Amino acid sequence: MYAKPKIILDDITGNMKIMRFDYGYKPFFIDITIDVCKYLKNPQNVIVTTFYNTFKKMSNINHTCPYKHDVIIDKVWTGNLENDFSRYLPIPNGDYAIYCTFNVSNVELVKIFIYVRKS
Segment 75-109, tens digit of pLDDT = 776 666 666 666 766 778 899 998 999 999 999 98
Give Cα 108 to chain centroid, integer Å: 14
The pLDDT value recorded for residue 73 is: 80
Strand partners, 111: 101
**CA 34 to CA 36: how far, in whole Å?**
6
The pLDDT value recorded for residue 2 is: 60
Provide CB contacts within 8 A for 2, sequence distance 6+.
Answer: none
The domain locations on the chain are 12-118
- 3-state class (DSSP) for residue 83: helix
Element spanning 117, H or E: strand 107-118
The pLDDT value recorded for residue 29 is: 81
Cross-sheet strand order for the sheet of 94-104: 25-35, 12-21, 94-104, 107-118
Binned at pLDDT 50, 70 and 90, residue 63 comes out as confident
